[in-house]
Structure 1
Amino acid sequence: MLEATVNRLSTSPNIEPEPLSILFQDDHIVVVNKPSGLLVHRTNLAKDEEDAVVQRLRDQTGQWVFPVHRLDRGTSGVLVMAFTPEVARRLSAQFSASETQKTYHCLVRGFCDEVGVIHYPLAKLNEQKGRSRFKIEGTEKEAETHFKCLAQYQLPIPVSRYDAMRLSWVEVTPKQGRKHQIRRHFKHQLHPLVGDSCYGCRHINKVTKDIWPEDFRLMLHASSLRFSHPITGQTMTIKAELSDEILNVLNKLLPYQV
């Protein structure tokens, strides 16, 4: 019965979706390296989309999977899911209590500080239809993001009123997991993420899309996740390799490192 149900979840009768890269799997959880451009699960604004991580993993593992946390559609990297609602509940509690440690890497506009902490409260975001996809609602809550600049680049390409394009490759550790926390925090710092259609700089996005048309995307990757296994209690640290698109961009930037 389950096998028949899973077969019906295939995303297309003609095109077989590419299998997700599984980083860890046991009887209780499965951890994947989510590709950019793929939803974690269908939303109210994307009900008609058949392809999502949940659907692919059901087909791939032959089991129902339950989301534990989320990554934005454009974000790639470590994503953990549970095979039962109880395991999902236990894992979700760790995320809600900020008991996990998440490390991201991103490419941002400008030269950011060598190290820093962004303290900037964030209100809840709700999806909505219309010109603006998200609506700010509710009271602002504490949000803290630590970062370290790993490399800076200066390209001899005019951007808006500037005669050169400056970029920074940054390692980021958010303490909480507010919706779009990293993207909103770096916009607040005037260092928006490259490829961010919501909070990014349209001038930077236009130029980078022109020079990297095949690799243009939201330059945000969930590199590692540390959590306690919900059944054994063992400390798990799962790492995900950078996507080909991000690696291609970093290789192209290497000659311009300052």
Structure 2
Amino acid sequence: MTDVALITGTSSGMGLHAAVELARRGMHVVATLRDVGRAAPLRDAAAAAGVEVDVRALDVVDHDAAARLVAEIEAEFGRIDVLVNNAGLGAVGTAEQLSMEQIQDQLDVNYLAPVNLTKLVLPGMRERGGGRILTVTSVGGAVGQPFADAYCGAKFAVEGFMQSLAVVAERFGLRVSVMEPAAVASAFVANAVLPESSGPYAALLDAYIVRTSGAFANAQAPESAGAAIADAVLADEYRFRWQSSEGATAFVGASLADTDGSRVLGFTRPWIAAG
């Protein structure tokens, strides 16, 4: 019997490649995106890999639509074996520059949407005594970064939720994990919300953007990050925390070992220094 995987955010980047890779490895993949009219790259990549993906529309912040989709998949296939929460939204700006609406958007997409989908699939997985939930967070879920206040805040929140859930879910045969990529070449940066006015933060923000642009110029390929997601989903070993590259592992590790917070502040301060 073919396992069924539901993955969000598959219009481009690592979500697209994770969907194709999971299908290539034998899963029936329900790949969702807000606008199925933008599914041509996903379908083309699947065709090039010699596989098919089951493309369906889902705006992850529409919780009622998510409930209908999960019920539809479970009625059609009898179960959902894997959930990959991949859809995400970026925002650049420090606290004073961000509106509460922008902060809410970060929480809606990066925290509440994966929480909702996780809640929706949990009953069926628990009753069957098995299932895997992987939430793609970011190194920003472990390392707070300048001008990423709302984004990192939402990613920290979803990691805390999933880590708290993990040991309870494990008692029912479920594996709950997070994947923490570093910079991945994708449309994510182009889609990030930018502040309308830099004001007194202009020089600091300019320095940050220069540094970040350099990081994304040397970003991990989305094919590689997508394969890392598939590896984590299908791994025999269970780990709560995965990273998509050696660089991401080193970056996250620096924060997790930083018991007084000085290490992270030490290596992020230069990000907003010009020259």
Q: Normalized against structure 2, the TM-score is what?
A: 0.28
Q: Normalized against structure 1, the TM-score is what?
A: 0.30
**Which of the pair is proportionally richer in helix?**
2
**Which of the pair is proportionally richer in strand?**
1
